[in-house]
Structure 1
Amino acid sequence: MRKAAAIVVTAIVVAAMATQTVAAQGDRASDFERALRALFDSIDRNGDGLIDGAETRRFADATFATLDADGNLRLTYTEFQQFDFGLGALAERHDRQKLYADARERIWQRWRHPRPREVTRAAFRQHLRGDLLRVSRGHSGVSYAEFQQAPFVQDLATAFR
């Protein structure tokens, strides 16, 4: 009888832990969704639901200027690692810092070409714009649904799945 009771108690504890894990994953996913929406809305300055070319340039240039600590119009690896996408605190809260760092590393590896040790302002703008154009469906901007499919967003999403 004690053995059966122990098995039942163990099953209840395991079920409770599984429920907490699913809830935590749901919270992580919804937190990421809210943060991603906030990022999109911050880029979509006119609030029309589309990120157009001018908004992409403005975001890229402002972000680059913030990251370019020495003002030489080139981002080093160290400077690029400061590109938080507004998700650093979320990664920390959900204990996803390593996965988040890995995602940013994948973006660095893609965006640093053709120069192996740096990203110029022009290249930063071009890669960000290119990632958005890749998912654009030919209209005058990128919708939120398309934004979610952009390669850099997909890289970031892997950290929060």
Structure 2
Amino acid sequence: MVADAITGSSWSLPHPRSEQEVELHSYLTTLALLLPNNVDDVYEWKAAGYPLNVFNSQATWEVLRPRQVTQVWHDIVWFKGAVPKHAFTMWVAKYDKLPTRARLASWGLAILIACSFCNTVPESRDRMFLSCQYSYNVWSLVFTKCSPPQQRLADWAELLS
């Protein structure tokens, strides 16, 4: 409550630990603190512009993390029987954010960028999963257990489909 943050006629706030807190403190010091003793100090919690009677963590979470449109591939990655580590890796791979050698080198790391499987061309997501000879051999083994496609997988979208 405001009464807990003032002493007499001045603010009694903890030392700010972020730039946003510094800005808040700067703003608060511009406000007059003439609070009459007979006025009740109340607070109101709002989530997405709607007042709530009490704090609601779910409503707060939904405001802080707005939902995006469901992706067509979501059920390939996130499903009931998925191994969390595998689902997370697939999700990261879908957005092409895997820490491949070429990507790590682009961040300034002094490493070889050649594919770790074949050691020929730069390592990328598509190279590791689709175009490397090692990957092709793995896919061949997988497809012997299920109905194989007529041709080699060409790109990431085809793999997800």
Higher relative contact order (CA 8 A, sep 6+): 1
The structure with more helix, counted as a fraction of residues: 1
TM range (shorter): under 0.3
What TM-score do you get using the length of structure 1 for normalisation? 0.23
Q: Which has the larger radius of gyration?
A: 2
What TM-score do you get using the length of structure 2 for normalisation? 0.23
